[in-house]
Amino acid sequence: MTINPINLLLGFILSVLIARTAQRAHSLSQSGALGAVIVGTLIFGLGGWAWGVLLIAFFISSSALSHFRGARKASLAEEFAKTGQRDITQVLANGGWGAGLTILALFFPERLPIFAAFVGAMAAVNADTWATELGVLNPRPPRLITNGRTVSVGTSGAISVWGTASAIAGALFIGLLAALLSPLEGSLPAARLVWLVVCAVLGGLGGALLDSLLGATVQGIYWCERDQKETEKRIHTCGEHTRLRRGWAWIDNELVNFICSLVGSAIAWALWVVVL
């Protein structure tokens, strides 16, 4: 196990610069910027450039999409916890497991399986974010993943054609970028590069679909009596304390996102190890 302090310092400086820029662009809150520095320093400092660039690709693309057609999405912030500035819990939910994998990689002489798991984790959170940000623009109302019932736009557990296509595109984006960056982790034949992309797509889509399934079944969803609206927030934007309507109170959107990244990495790792 070796840790290069220079890499950690470079990772810290770069993470501070990116987090500060994102905070000024209103993509991160103050606590979110702190979380980004922690996650970025670990992934850059311990993982290296291939790992760090994938993290940046996820963050920049998801932040850009969050501002795309922002006026149309603004009303969703009142009901759901998936919009607006990211705070530290949201940052750790999306990048915390990826940072954990960089620590885990220190204890294994063969890094490629752990790198494949990291690619799967990033593909999953990227797929879920792209599906959320672009799926809400679907011209038709989405359907609940469990029973196909038509539901309101932005409802946890809802899926649509645009959302699913966006999830695949988001996972593919990470997979292709990982293949381009893979020489930094070691020389790979063309067949393995293609398989790395496949692992990313399947891991990303699997994690995103599980995210929807958990959102439709066990995630805590609340009801605001004052506004007569369903929400993911315990305190609605109107200031009213909400009551639990379905799901479990201890399972919130951040935990679901973390599980999404965990499952995405597990799928990608299993496919990489078992097949290769």
Mean pLDDT of all residues in 177-196: 92
Give the torsion sign (CA, 58, 60, 61, 66).
positive
pTM: 0.92
Q: Which percentage of the chain shows pLDDT scores above 70?
A: 93
For residue range 207-217, what is the model confidence (pLDDT) as tens digits? 999 999 999 99
pLDDT (0 to 100) of residue 197: 98
For residue range 98-118, what is the model confidence (pLDDT) as tens digits? 999 999 999 988 899 999 999
Q: Chain-wide mean pLDDT for the chain? A: 90
For residue range 231-265, what is the model confidence (pLDDT) as tens digits? 888 887 777 889 998 999 999 999 999 999 999 99
Residue 177 scores a pLDDT above 60: yes
